[in-house]
A = this chain, B = another copy of it.
Amino acid sequence: MLSKKTKYGIKALTFLAKQENKSPVQIATISKSENISLKFLESILLTLRKNGFLGSKKGKGGGYYLLKEPKDIKMTEIMRVLEGPIAMVPCVSLNFYEKCDDCPDENLCAIHSLMIEVRDSTLKIFRNTTLADLCKC
């Protein structure tokens, strides 16, 4: 299940991507437009800034702005920063691998290969989708 953090983060990113000019947008503006708790959004935008998606400007006329072109921001990157692993189980995660406590041997686990299949099909979609694609509706 997608967390609200991720959902709000994606909505904020698309909001910024839709801006005509590249001037900074205030948190409050996004918060109101997208119906997102201001303080919660604040922390989300902060992590997006710390992870190189957004730049920020303080003071009057300040706000957040995209650092890259929407077409150059892949969904895989966004998902991994906001949501974490894309895989349904840590033992098939590419970037957040963790061994299962209960499995003595992953290769004998019935779920393992199925979860790899699901991971790959989801990855395929996220790799082929950019922020620019999300703005086309």
Cβ B89 vs Cβ A2 within 8 A? yes
| Stretch of A19-27, A45-53, A104-112 on the interface side | A104-112
A35 touches B102 (CB 8 A): yes
Q: Out of B2, B8, B137, which one reaches A115, CB within 8 Å?
A: B2
State whether A111 and B134 are in contact (beta carbons under 8 Å apart), knowing that A1-B85, A2-B89, A89-B7 are contacts in the complex. Answer: yes
Cβ of A42: which chain B residues have Cβ within 8 Å of it? none
Given the complex, which residues of B lie within 8 Å of A101, measured CB to CB? 35
| Cβ proximity bits A115-137 to B, threshold 8 Å, 1 near / 0 not | 10110011011100100011101
**What are the 5 tightest A-B residue pairs by CB atom distance, in nearest-first order?**
A110-B134, A35-B102, A14-B110, A121-B121, A2-B88
Instruction: Mark A residues whose CB is within 8 Å of B.
Output: 1-2, 7-8, 10-11, 14, 34-36, 75, 85, 88-89, 101-102, 104, 107-115, 117-118, 121-122, 124-126, 129, 133-135, 137
